[in-house]
Amino acid sequence: MKVNVDPDLCIACGVCEEICPEVFELGDNDFAQVIGDPEDYEDEVQEAADACPTEAIIIED
């Protein structure tokens, strides 16, 4: 599983970080970034992607 956050779509709302802080963090660049291994948190990462209001989280198998 590979996870990316599209910085052009991310509005730094923090939903992903609330759902899965082990993988997502709001960075200094005003968008979320992937900080952890998504393999260990596949369900939470998918939940964060589904909850993202701008669909900025991209999951690839």
Sequence spans of domains, the chain: 2-60
pLDDT score of 31: 93
Cα distance between residue 43 and residue 30, in whole Å: 25
* Two tokens, residue 61: 């198998």
pLDDT tens digits for range 5-60? 999 999 999 999 999 999 999 988 889 999 999 999 999 999 999 999 999 999 99
pTM exceeds 0.75: yes
* Burial state string for 10-34 with b = 16 or more CB within 10 A and e = fewer than 16: bebeebbbebbbebbebeeeebbbb
Question: 2-60: which CATH architecture?
Answer: 2-Layer Sandwich (3.30)
